[in-house]
Structure formats: structure tokens, C-alpha cells
């Protein structure tokens, strides 16, 4: 029996074409909430960067928990934090220095703010894909408070730029424009494990829905995993089920097949 469902945002709950949540997905969330299924967001976004459709649906159908920064900062509906794992300060300084030297562009993701080092064409393209514009900020701010995640605007295969100088980070990717830098041993599985401990859930009682490379690790730590039809082939191969595209009512179709909605 599935007692909890974990949802990625971009490309899973929120369409990358319309930048909204399909009506059928809203219905699925409402039906699951009414049936007592625990609902969680598991996202690479920051706490302050949840998109408008998510904020609006949360006001109608409250999520029970939020796994933000790819699971590095997790809190419940009341705001109580149950996982807090920022990037090692020494590695944060090394990554920031690379950006300051022009080796790569980054987005700095902290609890109080999110900013980018520059607005280059790659950064602009990444922002346009999720209908968002992030302000340019002073890189010195990255060292003033904990940073939970960096976005490194590098090509696949260029991750060595930061991995060669850092000691306690790993990376995950859901866009060809950038990868997410997170603490080693972190990621969405760490957030799901923390949520399971917080709510007394067994992994086999959980389902995870996603479409990106950063969702693949969480597919391996739940009983049921659903890849959206718009996901890449390697993401689909890692899931136990493949749904139609997010724009083709994929979330609702999958939930109905799983018996989560009538």
C-alpha cells in the first residue's frame, strides 16, 4: 500500500511548455490528499524559488513535506526542519573562486537568496526553460551564510572543473545547460530517508515521480517509481513505470493505474 508520494516539480508536476500544473494533476493531488496519502515535493529548487503554480496548489492541497535543494534542506508543512545539510564551506569557497576567475558560471542557492554570477547565453537559456529570471549577485555573498546547492553552468563532461578541486561534493543533472552541485552523500534519496524516519514510513510504502537525471537516485529508494513520458530514456529505464507526458495527463494516468485515485 502506498502511503506517501514524492514529486519532482519541473517536468513532472509543472509543465515545461505551459509552466503550469495540468488540471488533471491538480485533481490527482486533491484525490490523494483526501485519501490520506502523504504528499511531498522533492525538488532541486530552493525554498525561496518554488514556482507560482506550486505555491498556489499548496494553498489548496497542502504538501506534508518539502525536500528542497535536492534533499539538502527538508521541512514539514509547519516549517519544522528535519534535514539540514549545506555544502562544506571550504568547497563553497573553491566553487566560488572558480566562478570569480571566469572558469564557469554558477547560481548560488541559499536559504535567504538565490543569485547567478553572470547572465551568459547558457544561463539565460536555463532560466527560460523554467520561466524564471535569477538576479546577478556578488559572489562574496556565497560565503556569508551556508550554501545548500550550486548550479554549475557547464556542459556534460565538464564537471571535472569543480570536482578536481572539491573534496565533499557530488553532482546531478536534469538539464543539458547545467548540473546541480550538492554535498557528497546527499541528494533526493537522503531527503526521502529523512522523511521516512520523520513519518515512520517504509521505503516500499513510497512512490516517487520524476523526469530528470536528478530523479534517478530517488527511484532506487522507493517501492514504486514513475518516469514521465517526457523523461530521457535513461530515466525511464530506471523507473518501475513510465507514464505519458506531463502535458498528456501523465501524472493522473499513473496515479490511477497505481490505485491512488479513482
Residue 34 pairs in a beta bridge with none
**Strands (DSSP E) along the chain, which ranges?**
4-7, 38-42, 65-68, 73-76, 81-84, 105-110, 114-116, 147-153, 169-175, 178-183, 206-210, 224-227, 241-242
At residue 132, the pLDDT reads 80
Q: What is the pTM of this model?
A: 0.92
What topology is assigned to 89-183 in CATH?
3.30.1240
At residue 141, the pLDDT reads 93
Q: Where in the chain is the domain with CATH 3.30.1240.10?
A: 89-183
At residue 175, the pLDDT reads 84
Q: How far apart are CA 80 and CA 70, in angstroms?
A: 18
First to last CA, the chain: 15
Residue 207 pairs in a beta bridge with 5, 224
At residue 152, the pLDDT reads 95
Q: Where in the chain is the domain with CATH 3.40.50.1000?
A: 4-85+186-257
At residue 101, the pLDDT reads 95
At residue 126, the pLDDT reads 86
Q: Which residues of the chain have pLDDT under 50?
A: none
Question: The domain 4-85+186-257: what is its CATH number?
Answer: 3.40.50.1000
At residue 135, the pLDDT reads 94
Amino acid at each position: 500500500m502506498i502511503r506517501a508520494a514524492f514529486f519532482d516539480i519541473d517536468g513532472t508536476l509543472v509543465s515545461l511548455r505551459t509552466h503550469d500544473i495540468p488540471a488533471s494533476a491538480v485533481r490527482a493531488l486533491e484525490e490523494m490528499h483526501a485519501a490520506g496519502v502523504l504528499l511531498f515535493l522533492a525538488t532541486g529548487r530552493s525554498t525561496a524559488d518554488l514556482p507560482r503554480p506550486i505555491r498556489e496548489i499548496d494553498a489548496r492541497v497542502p504538501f506534508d513535506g518539502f525536500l528542497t535543494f535536492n534533499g539538502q534542506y527538508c521541512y514539514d508543512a509547519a516549517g519544522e526542519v528535519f534535514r539540514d545539510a549545506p555544502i562544506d564551506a571550504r568547497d563553497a569557497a573553491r566553487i566560488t573562486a572558480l566562478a570569480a576567475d571566469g572558469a564557469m558560471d554558477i547560481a548560488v542557492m541559499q536559504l535567504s537568496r538565490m543569485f547567478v554570477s553572470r547572465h551568459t547565453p547558457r544561463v539565460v537559456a536555463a532560466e527560460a526553460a523554467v520561466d524564471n529570471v535569477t538576479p546577478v549577485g556578488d559572489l562574496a555573498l556565497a560565503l556569508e551564510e551556508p550554501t545548500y546547492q550550486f548550479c554549475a553552468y557547464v556542459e556534460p563532461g565538464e564537471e571535472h572543473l569543480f570536482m578536481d578541486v572539491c573534496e565533499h561534493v557530488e553532482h546531478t543533472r536534469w538539464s543539458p545547460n547545467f548540473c546541480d552541485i550538492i554535498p557528497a552523500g546527499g541528494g533526493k534519496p537522503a531527503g526521502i530517508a529523512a522523511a521516512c524516519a520523520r513519518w515512520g514510513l517504509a521505503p516500499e510504502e513510497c512512490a516517487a515521480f520524476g523526469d530528470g537525471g536528478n530523479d534517478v537516485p530517488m527511484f532506487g529508494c522507493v517501492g514504486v517509481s514513475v518516469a514521465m513520458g517526457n523523461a530521457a530514456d535513461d530515466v525511464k529505464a530506471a523507473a518501475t513505470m513510465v507514464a505519458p507526458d506531463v502535458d498528456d495527463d501523465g501524472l493522473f494516468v499513473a496515479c490511477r493505474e497505481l490505485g491512488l485515485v479513482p
